[in-house]
Copies of this chain bind each other. A is one copy, B any other.
Amino acid sequence: MNRSRREFLQKLTMSSMVLPIVSTYTPQWYGPLHTDVQGPVLRVALMGLGGYAQRVADAMKDCKRAKVTGLVSGTPAKLKEWGSKYNVPERNRYSYETFDDIKNNPDIDAVYVITPNALHHDNVIRAARAGKHVICEKPMAVSVQEGQEMVDACAAAGVQLLIGYRMRFEPNTLEIVNRRNAGEFGKINFFQGQCGFKIGDPNQWRLNKELAGGGALFDIGIYAINGTRYMVGEEPVWVTAQETKTDPTKFKEGVDETIQFQLGFASGAVASCLSTYNMNYLDRFYLNGDKGFAELWPSTGYGPIKGRTHQQPLNHPHIAHQTIQMDEMAAIILDGKKPVLPVDGTTGLQDLKIIEAIYRACATGARQELKLV
């Protein structure tokens, strides 16, 4: 990118306006990030055609190495509408009844499972047994046991399992990770992750324990959990947690509204996190080290992400996170690329172990030791 273009983009990023999607992105000082546009294309079937799948499908229009070639839905009208919109031929459209036939479809390399949380387990295992690589939206499952079964099933089938941790590919986030790895913040002392929003419609699946597995922690708090791990750069060894519920009608038994949790690390670093379905104006990450700090605010929304270190603002131009994620996942699956931050099933399983420990900590009031490594 030439200087004047970079300056133009920096000015855009520093203003509060929404940025246009920029598809040509040049990696900066911290080394390769976004996949080289050269290489084979990952042909993906999207499963579960809800709001987030819509976002993924739209973002994938800008991908250089990933393409929607299949659709899976329980709603025939959606298959028709999406098939037409995304140019997916009828032979590549599946219901949940016909889905297993996908194993005979040479147009599809991978299935991206974007159904409600509680359905991930069965859907991922079905896709694996059909011989397709699987991308699964986070949280990968609603229990550690389920997650382990999914990891095992994909290994047994010889397919890859990746979790849709889009922030693990986000340029400002990765710049902080790379600066941390380069020692720019010194010894890491503290991380704070505040993730949440005020949830609307009380009848949505996210507030149904049977479908969601829990409440805010599974849906939005997981960003703080996952973020703690990649920002600190270490797996936690203990967790404490405190639950608060102000509206037991909206947030029923087993559906957490607000949980504060704290994590400790073998290095002595600590983290303080908030997960909530009852507050707006959050979404902030803060990393503290002996030599400096980094802040992302907003840190995990759909963007633009805004960040800074103790030295300078971070000004990566906004690209839809799902565009980068899918191009990178294509490189991981097809080229064997090792990403800066892993997104494999084991990485997803660690989050579930922490989530279960947080619920135990809330229920007992006692600190839970974690054995993640």
Contact = CB atoms under 8 A, between A and B. Distances in A.
Given A192-B192, A240-B242, A242-B240, A258 B270 contact: yes
A157 interface: no
A198 B276 CA distance: 31
Nearest to A287: B281
A35 interface: no
A190 B262 contact: no
A112 to B, nearest CB: 34
Interface in A60-110: none
B272 A244 contact: no
A190 B281 CA distance: 11
Which of A189, A264, A293, A310 has the largest count of B CB atoms less than 10 A from its CB? A189
Contacts of A292: 281
A244 B262 CA distance: 11
Nearest to A278: B189
A178 interface: no
Copies of this chain per assembly: 2
A244 B270 contact: yes
Contacts of A244: 264, 268, 270
A272 B272 contact: yes
Contacts of A286: 284
Interface string A231-244: 00000000010101
Interface residues of A, number: 33
A360 interface: no
Contact of A367 (B194, B246, B278, B365): B365
A302 B181 CA distance: 33
7 smallest beta-carbon distances between A and B, as pairs = A246-B268, A281-B293, A189-B279, A260-B262, A244-B270, A279-B288, A272-B272
19 contacts: A189-B258, A189-B279, A190-B282, A192-B194, A192-B274, A198-B290, A242-B262, A242-B264, A242-B270, A244-B268, A244-B270, A260-B272, A272-B272, A279-B288, A279-B290, A280-B290, A284-B286, A365-B366, A365-B367
Given A189-B279, A190-B276, A281-B310, 13 more contacts: A190-B274, A192-B194, A240-B240, A258-B270, A260-B262, A260-B272, A272-B274, A279-B288, A280-B290, A281-B288, A281-B292, A365-B366, A365-B367
Interface of A: 189-190, 192, 194, 198, 240, 242, 244, 246, 258, 260, 262, 264, 268, 270, 272, 274, 276, 278-282, 284, 286, 288, 290, 292-293, 310, 365-367
